[in-house]
Structure 1
């Protein structure tokens, strides 16, 4: 996995906002080098995004976390 550059973050944010239909989604740069880039909605972190480069092709993997306590009652 490669680090996500500062120039990629706004592009990722715009794309994820469009794909997920949430203008409140933000992609936040890590607090320090080596930490994950975080995805948040209305300030609440919901996951991370990772960059992968293989044979010159770049892709991004999004890992969303949903806590059971945040689910509606069964």
Structure 2
């Protein structure tokens, strides 16, 4: 993902989740995805899906481990 995409996605996530601590960071050696953090805690990955020629979509994937629920 480009730096411009990352900044736009970060702004969007901050607004949607009402959480100014969200950060979107570039992944080393990956150009189709970015990592999402709250502060220094990793919470998930954003993937760019541009298989459709007319549209680009982004998917946010977040795993929740069972021990985190206790």
- Which of 30, 37, 43 is 1:33 aligned to? 30
SS in 2 for 1:57: coil
Give the alignment's Cα RMSD to 1 decimal: 1.6
Q: Which runs of 5+ in 2 are unaligned?
A: none
Q: TM-score, normalised by structure 1?
A: 0.81
Give me the whole-angstrom Cα distance separating, in 2, the residues matched to 1:59 and 1:33.
Answer: 17
1:41 CA displacement: 0.7
Q: Which runs of 5+ in 1 are unaligned?
A: none
2:55 corresponds to: 57
Q: TM-score, normalised by structure 2?
A: 0.85
1:67 corresponds to: 65
Higher relative contact order (CA 8 A, sep 6+): 1
Runs of 4+ with >6 A deviation: none
